[in-house]
Structure 1
Amino acid sequence: MKTHILIGKLFLDSFNILKEIQKEIQKDLKSLGFQEEIEVEFQSLNFMDSFKKNFFTLLMLSIMIDSKISKKNIVKYGKIILYLRQIVTSTDNIIDDESKGIIFISRLKNNVVSNSLVMLFCQNFLTKTCLEIDFKSYLSQKVFNKIYSIAESESLRDRE
Structure 2
Amino acid sequence: MYVFASHGDYAAATLASCELIAGKLSNFATVTFHDPMGLADLIAAYEALFAKETDPANFQIITDIPNGSPANAALQFKHKHPGVRVFSGLSLGLALALATGTPIAEALKESQAIAKELFLKGESHAEAPADTAVTSAEKAFAPAPENTG
Q: With structure 1 as the length reference, what TM-score do the two structures score?
A: 0.28
Higher helix share: 1
Structure (1 or 2) with the larger CA radius of gyration: 2
